[in-house]
Structure formats: C-alpha cells, structure tokens
Structure 1
C-alpha cells in the first residue's frame, strides 16, 4: 500500500515581496489546516524543490508568475496539483477559461457534503469555461446567499498530461482565517443584530466586534426562540477539503494515513471554564461542591484580587486547572497593555503559588487589534487562550466558525507566522441567567461539535452557579447530554497539551503489521487511521469512518 506524499508550495521569494508591500499571504495557513488534520506534509519554497523532489500531491499556497510553468510541468508529469482562488491568467487561458467572476463574500453548496448547509466563504474567483477539453469534473455551486440559485464551478478538475489540476474557486485559507480571526483588526464596535439581541455597539472593544458572519443568514432559532450561530463554517471547509483530498488519493491507488483527533475511547471532548469575576470565596466553595458531585474537572480563570489561598489549594487538590483571567476592561480597573498583562499574571502566580500558568481568557472578552494578545501570551509563557467567544445573548454558538483548537495566524507585519498559542474558543456563557442564552441550544451545539470532532467549551461564572438555580440547571443539562453523547470533560490545559503532542506523531512508512510511526510515546492511546478504497473489501482489524471513508484503525 503506497502512502502518498504531500507537499505545500509557498514561493518564498514571492512571499517576501508581498510582506514588504504589507500584503497578506494567507497561504501560510495551509500548515495549520494540515497540522490540525494530522496529515504529514513538507514545505517547498522554490521551483527547484518541486523539480528535484516532487511529492505525489502538491498544494499551491503561493506562486509567483515565474513558478507556474514548473507547476504545470509537475502536473503534466503525473502529479496532483491543487490550487485555490485567484491564479495567474496564463494558467486559466491554457485550461480554457472564458470569464472569471469574483465575489468578496458568498456561499457555496457542496453536493458531496450532504449534511452541510451552504458554506459561507470569502475571496471567491469562479471560472466560466470557454472550451472544456481538459475539464473532467465541475462540481459545487456558488450562491449569493443560502437561498439563491447557484452557479456551478466551485470545484473543477482538469486533466493535464499524465496528471491533474484541481482548482477550488474559494480561497480556503483566507476563508478559514477570516471566520476564526475576523477579516480585519478590531478597532471599532461591530454592527449590532437587527433584532436587538446583539448590541455589539456598546463602546467596549471585544473579540466579537470582529466577527464575520451574517446576523440573518447564519443564525437559527431553537424551540424556545433562542437565536444562535448554528454551523462552524470554517470546520466545514476543513472537512470538505480533506474529504476531497482523500478521494483523489484513493482514486490513484494510494492512501494517506493520519492521526485521529482524540485518543482511543474518547468520542468527544467538552470543557467547562469558570471566570472568577466577583471573587467571593463562598461562590468558589459552591462551585467546587457542584463539580465534585458531578465528577467534572474545569479550568478556573482567576481575576485580581482572586480568592483566598485555601480556595486555590482546594481547586488544585480536586484536579482543576488554575488559569489567568486577564482584565483589560477599564470599568473594572483593567487596561489593554502588555505591562498590565504581565503585572496581573505575576499577581496570579504569587497569589495562587503557581510556577506556570498555561491558559488565559480575557475578562469580558476584551480584545483590540489582531495579534497583540497572542504575542503577550507567547512572551509570558501562556500556551493557550480561550477569549474568543460571544458576549451577547444573540451571538452564541459558532460565532467564529469553529469548535476546533487551533493555532492562530499573524498578519503581514509578522510575515503571517503562526502564533505559538492554542486558541480554544467558547460557545456560550452562563445559561438561563436571563441576559444570555437559555439551555435550549445545548443539544444542537453538542450535536454539531460531535459531528466535527471539536471541543464543546461552555463558560460559567462561580458567582452565578452560587446564586442562580436556573444556571445550575443549565450546568446539569450540559453534563447529562454531553455524557449521553460520549463526551469526556477535559481542562483547557489538557486539550492544549494533547493538541501539541499529537501533532508530533507522524506516520512515515508501512510494514506488514501496520504503520511506522514517529514519536509514538508522546501520545498515549493516539489512533492512526489508514483510509481504504472501496475495492479493498474485507480488512483485518477494526475500521471506523472518517471524512466519509472507511479507515483501518491502529491504537498506538
């Protein structure tokens, strides 16, 4: 069984020129898309890399005009070339393109992803064909909005010599980044919801001021009328792209092993984080009791002045994570600055007798700019952030298009590098409190997180768990339904550590008794999956379905 090799071509000379001009190179994010899927790949940065050591699959992240001839020859020689969004007009004319239609924002219907709604996307470049001698597939529809008529051509596949060029009309990295991190830095209030459920224009800069979904098209309502963003579009794009990649790999008689999302025996992961805010010891004691009775370990985000040392000792003894709750909310005495971040973090380490703090969540989801917070986290040893989530009743759910842990990307001024911080966004704050969501959305959110194999992260405040019986009922509903669906409750630290360790596990070869794996000791119970073609029939050992394909399963 031949294991396909995957390369990502990012023309370094072209990238340096763009960065010098202040232009974004979102193609750098292919490293994160493939890394999150645990698909082994290597970067290629100049034409000679492609010529001297061609991979079986080559994803084009960025190519200058001078590179396209080499990429064409790669496909002609039998390679699988995958391109996205705008490419040079020269390539289009050689493939028979008559017209190019460009849209800044649109939706797409992907018929091979039957359980998906139309997916929101950005930077779409649709090709209309003049002649079609090379066009062997023309699938997926472009829509102006989810209920509009479609224009075919989201995914086109061309026969070129002995190989193929597959072109997606959507710039997938730019779309995922735009959904997860916004399409521009947060410098002003976001637009409020037209139905009055999301007053983002209250004069406080927050993470959700930079969200890029549509209040009308991207929300649904539960049976109680609770509005919520119902689908993680960024995760949908990841899944659709990987599914198509595996289809092409298997069609060529190859396979492409990868490491599964969670360890063996774990069907899904849920997380509860707690924001200390009013810092009353009695509220912490109530919360410790509630979580202990339910067998839940949580992430306690601590804000100055915090609890007494005795409470911290009890939190540690119960196996919870003590985390940082950075206060940059001016009305509560905070400030948005690196110096204040460092001062408050130092206070927490001293007050709770901690040598290291792994996780942070910003008080009130305060946010400014683009990557400042992530840089501060890197500088002071914070390994995971959890600040990206809703602040209003009407924007709960998949506000940022994802339920995955991910490494965010910088802008052009930092050469679009990935920050060394795992982002774990949350879905909603205290349920049944009145000013936020009710618990009717727990079931649909858990269902979708389970389908996408992400993290169901719910935020509570100790003070509300102490004072409000409806909030405690919301916690009980979450715990009951999550366990019925097979979710395990992890802390933020555990999620971030697993994500980092698991990315180090690589499938490098094949023996008669299974895959050859690098760094297997780093990830106990990690699962290697080997996709199988439909022609392989009965296979020895356990199989499961991922990305729509049957996979042979090995537990490390």
Structure 2
C-alpha cells in the first residue's frame, strides 16, 4: 500500500484479529470491487484507496441497503454525506451508553453536520477531551441513513487505539516519562516494555483499600467489546445474527496463571517453590535465566507438570545484551540444560524491550509460541498498564507489512505480591474481579527467590489460588493458555442446521466449548438456554470436544 511506501502503519487491518478472536464469521476481500461483488450485509472498509470512484461505490452499496462500519475512517466522504470533518483529537475518553466506565482512546476525528443540512443521523455516546470529565467534543458514533442502508461511523480510531494500548504508542528507543508523583520511575536508563505505556498515571489508576495504586481498566478489551456489540446489534437490526465462540472451555469463566522468573538460580529457591505449588495443588510456568538450576531441579519441575520457559536476559547490568544472536544462544542453552525439545514461552528479564517487533520475530524463529514480557517493572504501574487481560497476537509495523506475529502475547499483572518493597495482596481481589468481568487471564508473577525468602509472599500465592478457585476460574500454565487459544482459533462457525443450531467446523478442541448465538427479543425460544454477552441476549450451545475434522478453518 501507499502508506507503507512512506513509512506509515496501516493498523486498520487489525480488525481481523479482533473479530477472529471470537471466531465471528467474516470474509476478507483483496479489493473493494471484490467485496461489493459479493454484496455483504455489513462491510468494514478497513484498507482501501479512498478516492472519488470508491466513495461513489460505497454510497451506491449503502443506498441499496448495505451497512458500512468505519472506525474513524471514510476520509473525504464527510462532505458527500452532509458533514464536515472536525479537528483531530488526541487522547481522551469516550462515554458509551452501554459502557462500564469512560473508555480511553488515543485518537479520534469527529464529524459535525454542515450548516443548512437537515439532521438525519442518530448520535450515540460522547467524546470527552483529555480526561474522563473533560469538555464534550461530539458523539462517539454516528449512524447516518443513506437510501435503504446506513453508514455507521465511529469517531474513535478504535482499532488503532487497541494496538497502541497493547503494544505502545511507538517503538521503544528511549525511556518513557516517569509519573510526577514518583510512583512510576520508568526513566531509569533501561529500555523496557512499560516505557511506551499509553495510559495516564492520574486518570487510569485506582487505589486499593491499603492505598496501593494500580492500573484498573481493561480499555483495549472494553473497546473490543464495544466493537462486537455494535456489529451484533447492526446484524440483528437487519434480521441477521453473528454467532461467536466463547473465550474459554464450557464452565470456565476466566483463567488464572502463575509464572516464576529464576533470576538468582539457587536450587533451594526452586525446592521451596515446588513444595508450595504442591501444597496449593497447581501447575505453573518457570521462566529460566541462564545459568539456571541443577539438572535434578529440572527433572522435578517436569515431573510435577510445570512449564519450562525462557527468561531472556538482555539486561546489561546482569551481563545481557539485546540481540537476535543472544536470544538464540540462550534458547539453545535452555533446551540443553533442561533436556527439552520445545520452549513453550518467554518472558524478558526485567521486561527489557526495544523497538517494535524484534522480540516477536526472535520468538518465531526459535519456535517459541507465546511471550509474557508485557507487564509492570515498577511498583506504581502494576495492573492493566497495557489495557488488556486477554491473550492476543501482536501486529508488526509497516516494515513487515503490518502482519500478525505468530506469537501469542499473555501479559502479567504484578510481581511478588506482599514483597516488602513492592505492593501487598490487597490487589488480589480487584485483579480477579476485573479479569472475571472481562473473561480474561489473571497472570501473576512470583520469583522463586522471593517465595523462598518471605512467608508473606508465599501467603500471597495461597491467596491468589484460593481467590481463583472460589470464583471458579481455571488455574492454567501459560502453555495451556497458548494451546487452548490456538486450538479454538482453528474452529469456524459455518452456519446453522435446520433447527438453528450453529455448525462448527475445523480441528478438534481439547475441551468442550460454547457457541453463543445472539437473538432478537422477539426470537427467544422457551426451551433455549440464554446468557447475556456483550450486552445482548444470546442462546448458548455446548460444543463437544470433537467436531468435524474434515472441514478447513479460515484462520489461526
């Protein structure tokens, strides 16, 4: 595309990752002509040349009953539809009618009606400048009728906001700005993932009952939910429905995972950690820093069913270096030292991070399917500092064609709860509660060294496990999350049988799953089981473990 030629990213295509995560039925077209030839009920023109000819084609498509959905796009169409484009907004907050709270966005461009034009649109929500209580600056969503159809235009660049929240506002090449209150001192001459956090230290944190500040809001996940809810409602208004696959196996509302970073590499630390994990009855993920433990420890870790993962060291003060060669060398060391053929995951020591996608490329080339690096390095930025508690596939920049990396990112929330120099376990309930509401992964990091040294840290592990079990969450390793996510993305929802039951196709799932079918209020069946998902009543169907293996999926 022209953008890539001039070094500009086209993250609009990331809408495929958002929709694909739920296995919503959709089709990708190579051109606007191909899409219009198929005449879909709903069209999202994510990447297309916005010239006069294509604008005329879109108007004709909508006039004949189609629906176009855009996320701050359709440049040049404003005037044709009777509007003018407002000044672009930087970061702000959107208040949605169905939203749980004001949702942070990173860019938006609203439209306003031209003078003398008769209002004919429906406006929803409101944009607020700079902060959640800021000056209102137009609606979040316009529904503009045109002939028999509508243009549904969000003022917020939702897809770009999701990418920037998850992966940062730019490549990491220098330190980020520390919080003025001194709680987030990221300006420490060490490049880290949180040097490009897109959240606001003042507006996006809450405090626990003991005064611990934490990033509290899964904004990227809330934006995904807003997108999906809107698309479902548009489909229902057209007499259609959009079935989707639940995030987790049937009966599991959310997942809790615990990982450890070996750091000081003392066998005694590992032994005490193994004893604690046996006590609480869970498996966890062990991220190993070279030179690691003695061979006998690895055998115990494997015998107890824990993951063995890499703790890549690029921290200069600990003898590390940021390079592809160093990553490969440390990966080869771990395979030999631990006696494993496959490294299930990676988490960078001290959350060291540079650039945009190098780490994910290195994981790909070394056969590592998931990464855990995106988490807090400081006491004051614990929590949802990247706006999500869900696993996702990150996107490359323009230099690699804005492709998806084949590496599942599974970020973490905190380090070593109850450590005397960090934060206390008053964070456990808020974290587990918001992750449950969002149906995500509550990933807690506990170093073996601190488990060994502090009874309070050991007690925090017990609190996390007890809290997860009380809520009915699954307690999985990071590799279990990765395996489930990759398996569910091989399922396609191919349609419905004569009774209206969805037909899943693809590879067999390791556990039963749930398909939800949104239903209009006048189409509820008395013999159906219903749940509210994304604010819409949905009929619930259980998929057994084995489905049609002869069908071919349409994505990861």
Partner of 1:417: 403
Secondary structure of residue in 2 paired with 1:42: coil
1:71 aligns with 2:55: no
Return the alpha-carbon distance in structure 2 between the equivalents of residues 475 and 51 of structure 1.
Answer: 55
Residue 136 of structure 1: aligned partner: 121
**Alignment counterpart, residue 5 of structure 2, candidates 5, 20, 31:** 20
Who is 1:125 aligned against? 109
Give runs of aligned pairs for residues 43-58 of structure 1, distance below 5 A. 43-58=28-43
> Would you say 1:268 and 2:254 are equivalent positions?
yes
The 2-side partners of 1:270 and 1:35 are apart by 23
Q: Work out whether residues 193 and 352 of structure 2, in 8 Å CA contact, stay in contact via their aligned partners in 1.
A: yes
Kept after mapping to 2: 8 A contact 1:134/1:160? no
Which residues of 2 match residues 142-291 of structure 1 at below 5 A? 142-144=127-129, 145-291=131-277
RMSD: 1.3
Residue 99 of structure 1, CA deviation:
4.7
Number of the residue aligned with 2:329: 343
Q: CA deviation at 1:477?
A: 1.3
Structure-1 residue corresponding to 2:505 = 518
Match of 1:549 among 520, 525, 536: 536
> When you count strand as a share of all residues, which structure comes out higher?
1
Which aligned pairs between 1:384-533 and structure 2 lie closer than 5 A?
A: 384-513=370-499, 514-519=501-506, 521-533=508-520
Q: CA deviation at 1:179?
A: 0.4
- Kindly tell me: are residues 255 and 539 of structure 1, through their superposed partners in 2, closer, same or farther at Cα, counting changes over 3 Å? farther
* Separation of aligned partners in 1, 2:344 and 2:13: 26
Q: Which deviations, in whole Å up to 9, do the C-alpha atoms of 1:486-533 show, x marking residues without a partner?
A: 111111111111111111111111113422211152353021111111
8 Å contact 2:31–2:48 — kept in the other structure?
Answer: no
Q: Aligned pairs, how many?
A: 538
For residues 300-331 of structure 1, what are the alpha-carbon distances to aligned partners after superposition, in whole Å with 9 as ceiling and x for unaligned?
A: 00111111111111111111111111011111
Q: Is the 8 A contact 1:57 1:79 kept in 2?
A: yes
Alignment correspondent of 1:357: 343
For residues 145 and 80 of structure 2, the distance between their equivalents in structure 1, rounded to whole angstroms, comes to: 12
Q: CA deviation at 1:98?
A: 3.7
Partner of 2:71: 84
Cα displacement (A) at 1:112: 2.0
Which runs of no fewer than 5 residues in structure 2 stay unpaired?
A: 544-556
CA distance 1:293–1:521, shift in 2 (3 Å): same
Runs of 4+ in 1 over 4 A off after TM superposition: 131-134
Q: Within 1, Cα distance between the matches of 2:526 and 2:41?
A: 25
Q: Is the 8 A contact 1:361 1:386 kept in 2?
A: yes
- Give the corresponding residue for 1:326: 312
Deviation at 1:94, TM superposition (A): 2.0
1:220–1:228 contact (8 Å) kept in structure 2: yes
CA distance in 1, matches of 2:33, 2:109: 29
Distance in 2, matches of 1:279 and 1:456, equals: 26
Most deviating of 47-56 and 309-318: 47-56
Q: Equivalent residue for 2:552?
A: none
Query: Which residue number corresponds to residue 522 of structure 2?
Result: 535
2:330 partner SS: helix
Structure 1 CA distance, aligned partners of 2:118 and 2:487?
47
> Which stretch has the larger CA shift, 508-517 or 248-257?
508-517
Once the 2 structures are TM-superposed, how far is the Cα of residue 374 of structure 1 from its aligned partner? 0.4
Q: Is contact 1:134-1:159 (8 Å) kept?
A: no
Q: Secondary structure at the match of 1:152?
A: coil
**Deviations 1:391-418, CA, capped at 9 Å, x for gaps:** 1110001100100100000111111111
Against the structure 1 CA distance between its residues 294 and 182, is the aligned structure 2 distance closer, same or farther, given a 3 Å change threshold? same
Structure 1 portions without partners, runs of 5+: 1-15
Contact 1:99–1:129 (8 Å) recurs in 2: no
TM-score by length of 2: 0.95
What is aligned with 1:8? Answer: none
